[in-house]
Structure 1
Amino acid sequence: DKPKLDPGSDAVLGILDGKAPLRVEAHWKEDILAVLGIAKAKKVRCVLLGASEAWRCIDEIKEVGAMVVLGPAQRFGGNRLDALRARSDVARLLAEADVPIAFMTAGAVGYRYDCAPLLAALAVSEGLSEADALRALTTGAAKIMGMEKHLGRLATGHRAAVQILTGRPFDPETSVDRMVIGDRVIDVAEGTR
């Protein structure tokens, strides 16, 4: 008889075998340090999701080689304990420390699918360089997802959706003029995205 398939066990084995990183949503410094401790003890790759207080433990994040996927530093509509010590410039601080970053498009509170570019623009307004913001949306995101061999940059054999913009990428007045997806060029109506 074949053993029964257990998706949970298979996922854990994938992490322990190094095929996939340990991905954990952790916001408070203490929780981040606990996750990093597990990753270090088990010698597994680690991706921190949310990481509101990552600025408080950058050295520890670097030591483990963890990567960080950031959500919004501040969310509208209510008090959140995980945002008490959040800093709006955490993306800049992590990038300056050479910690790989990306931005969330979904999470426990249900962000919109197009949230990542907005989060990148907000991070630029808080001091993240445009180059680091673009990296977080492209090669950084692909690396964190383990798909850097297929996504994240313009290269032969890579899949891409390219936006042709009317101005600088993170300028609020900039809009998408055209999209190139595969061999299709899509003209986008003025003022829409």
Structure 2
Amino acid sequence: MKKYIYIYVLCVTVLFGTFGYAQQTPAPKQSEAISIVGATAHIGNGKVIDNATIVFENGKIIRIGSAASTRTSGKRIDAKGKHVYPGFISPNSTLGLVEIDAVRATRDQDETGAFNPHIRSLIAYNAESKVVESCRPNGILIAQITPRGGRVSGTSSIVQLDAWNWEDAAVKVDDAIHINWPNNFTIGRWWLGEERGLRPNKNYPEQVQQIQDVFNESKSYLNGSRSPKNLPYEAMNGLMNGTQKLFVHVDTEKGILDAINFGKKNNVKIVIVGGYQAHKVASTLRQNNVPVLLHRTHYVPEMDDEDYDLSYKKAKILTDAGVLVGLENSGQMERMNTRNLPFLAGTAAAHGLDKEKALQLITSNTAKILGIDAQLGTLEVGKDATLFISEGDALDMRGNILTHAFINGRELSLETHQTELWKRYMKKYEGK
């Protein structure tokens, strides 16, 4: 009998423990009009409206302007002294694809093989990820979920971060294919008996030609009978007909120039991702209308002769040169650090970039790069009511304190397992 009681208690403990650690329940559909009154509205396109009124209904913004001349409707939120922003957008992210780095069963960001354009990150996206939940209290409400690995990693999709499952989360399905451009330099691999040190990659031309061969084969297949069916080649169709973009992950000056020429040769719209040396070819990027998703600004210089603050001011250098720039956060602990995305933009502002232009790095610029600017990225009539209210400057960790957040007009819970722990331990020390 004791054995059965023990098993029952264990099951109940596991059951309630599981529910206790579950994601917040997604917010219900907007049921009435909502008016945010008195806040400073940061539109996301460089404009600011002081003492603004924003009205949204059925998930869409229906009025925005000065509080003195804009009629309110429905529920009224007094936001005097606060700030309203469009939801921040995190591109090139593996949010929801990995939960715990040390647990293999929770890692679903890549597949075996080098050529995987048919791998779709969207269907692996875990809408109940606790890491995803932790990003919303800092204003990150949209993300481009992107696969990793191989030469052609796969296909990304854009999601909103308050959903029951990947179907509910999808904002734009299969928006782009991602490739990792070969590095024209190599570091001696001691495990293969190579001499250590940086040297030209003698296999670089061959590796670039392999990418071209894949494109040639895909074109031949798509223009032919398509029999027998080849899934990787089928997945390349969006690139060939212009409905998808090619996101090229590349950092070196030569690699970026070669990627631009590759895009022109194959009539493919490309985006440079990472772009560590993009500032060296800024004029070429502008002339060819190639946008850049810059690697995180909180990054140390890689070369001895580089300015210590190069990563901090690179966004300004490219913006001043006329390049369309967004910020991405791939790298070490990228999922957990996604919540710091607004502070990457804040760092760019602290190093010379106008504050509203810095805001565009994670709102309207990124929306344009991802092809979702018709519905997201700015606070404008007709666009999705995906926005938030902050007590202060949302690009500064001291001011980024959200009081309300909405996705398609649905008011989100800003509670997470982290805020629960914070409140728990604050109570412990309140009387001391």
TM bucket, shorter chain: 0.7 to 0.9
Look at both structures and tell me which one has the larger radius of gyration over its CA atoms: 2
Change (3 A) 1:48 1:160: farther
Residues 18 and 44 in structure 1, CA contact (< 8 A), matched pair in contact too: yes
Higher mean C-alpha deviation, range 119-128 or range 108-117: 108-117
Q: Deviations over 1:136-173 (max 9, x none)?
A: 21111111111112211223443343221222232342
Residues 168 and 174 in structure 1, CA contact (< 8 A), matched pair in contact too: yes
Give 1:133's aligned residue. Answer: 358
Match of 2:338, SS state, is coil
Match of 2:268, SS state, is coil
Residues 298 and 344 in structure 2, CA contact (< 8 A), matched pair in contact too: no
Measured after TM superposition, the shift of residue 110 of structure 1 is: 4.4
Residues 52 and 70 in structure 1, CA contact (< 8 A), matched pair in contact too: yes
Number of equivalenced pairs: 183
Q: Deviations over 1:19-73 (max 9, x none)?
A: 1111011111111111111112222211111101111000111121111111124
1:184 aligns with 2:420: no
Give 2:221's aligned residue. Answer: none
Residues 359 and 395 in structure 2, CA contact (< 8 A), matched pair in contact too: no
Match of 1:45 among 269, 272, 275: 269
Q: Deviations over 1:60-113 (max 9, x none)?
A: 11121111111124537xxx8xx33582211001111221111114x3544132
- CA distance in 2 between counterparts of 1:183 and 1:108 reads 32
Q: Which amino acid aligns with 1:27?
A: D
Give matches, 1:7-86, under 5 Å.
Answer: 8-75=232-299, 83-84=302-303
- CA distance in 1 between counterparts of 2:235 and 2:374 reads 21
Q: Which amino acid aligns with 1:67?
A: P
Residues 163 and 176 in structure 1, CA contact (< 8 A), matched pair in contact too: no
- CA distance in 2 between counterparts of 1:45 and 1:116 reads 26
Match of 2:349 among 101, 117, 124: 124
Unaligned stretches of 5+ residues in structure 2? 1-225, 423-432
Q: Which amino acid aligns with 1:142?
A: A
Residues 342 and 396 in structure 2, CA contact (< 8 A), matched pair in contact too: no
Q: Which amino acid aligns with 1:43?
A: N
Residues 55 and 94 in structure 1, CA contact (< 8 A), matched pair in contact too: yes
Q: Which amino acid aligns with 2:287?
A: E
Q: Deviations over 1:112-144 (max 9, x none)?
A: 322321211111122121111111211111111
Match of 2:315 among 71, 91, 101: 91
- CA distance in 1 between counterparts of 2:351 and 2:285 reads 21
Residues 102 and 140 in structure 1, CA contact (< 8 A), matched pair in contact too: yes
Identity of matched residues, %: 23
Q: Which amino acid aligns with 2:396?
A: D
Match of 1:152, SS state, is coil
Residues 50 and 69 in structure 1, CA contact (< 8 A), matched pair in contact too: yes
Unaligned stretches of 5+ residues in structure 1? none
Match of 2:403, SS state, is strand
Match of 2:383 among 155, 158, 175: 158
- CA distance in 2 between counterparts of 1:32 and 1:174 reads 37
Residues 343 and 396 in structure 2, CA contact (< 8 A), matched pair in contact too: no
Residues 376 and 384 in structure 2, CA contact (< 8 A), matched pair in contact too: yes
Tell me the C-alpha RMSD between the 2 structures: 2.6
Q: Which amino acid aligns with 2:371?
A: G
- CA distance in 1 between counterparts of 2:262 and 2:379 reads 36
- CA distance in 2 between counterparts of 1:165 and 1:60 reads 38
Residues 252 and 277 in structure 2, CA contact (< 8 A), matched pair in contact too: yes
Residues 71 and 104 in structure 1, CA contact (< 8 A), matched pair in contact too: yes
Give matches, 1:99-110, under 5 Å.
Answer: 99-105=323-329, 107-110=330-333
Measured after TM superposition, the shift of residue 14 of structure 1 is: 1.3
Measured after TM superposition, the shift of residue 9 of structure 1 is: 2.1
Give 1:168's aligned residue. Answer: 393
Higher relative contact order (CA 8 A, sep 6+): 2
